[in-house]
Chains A and B, each alone.
Chain A
Amino acid sequence: KAGVTQTPRYLIKTRGQQVTLSCSPISGHRSVSWYQQTPGQGLQFLFEYFSETQRNKGNFPGRFSGRQFSNSRSEMNVSTLELGDSALYLCASSLAPRGASPLHFGNGTRLTVT
């Protein structure tokens, strides 16, 4: 069974640009969560989607948004990039939302903002 796939693996953007990251969950998983990982703050929850609906949202500005498609694939978008957005963005999928089943993480997208 294929794991969670995140693309691209690495991304370099300039301040002010926007970026879209993609996540393909494990087949059959309908819940997708996104996390930001930085050395200073660790892993922080961004949002969770289930059945194309955002179920939960973390404490991030509105520049961070996401969506989920009918095939459970998810994308997250960051607009007006800032230097502080440089981080590893991790996606996790699970069978059900809100902790009802274990999370399976992808290997992340490393975003560098210059």
Chain B
Amino acid sequence: IQMTQSPSSLSASVGDRVTVTCRASQGINTYLNWYQQQPGRAPKLLIYEASNLHIGVPSRFSGGGSGTDFTLTISSLQPEDFATYYCLQTYSTRGSFGQGTRIEIK
């Protein structure tokens, strides 16, 4: 299953509302996770099964979608949110990641 994220990168300011999109090449129900990776660090789980917040993740992060189209929204960007975000489909027994979306400071 191919996962396509858009945009590949974006520039935004602290306080902005930001949305990242992930599209699957076939229906995956809600078997979609979102990860945040800061430079030089391991990825961290933000959202699992499309819309469930992982333990300790701030409520400004939210996820939605089902089938083939999914979104990750950050309601008010904070300085620590500037990072790369990846989606991962867990519908197939062989997982696959999107190519990543880098959020940069404007």
Partners in one complex: no
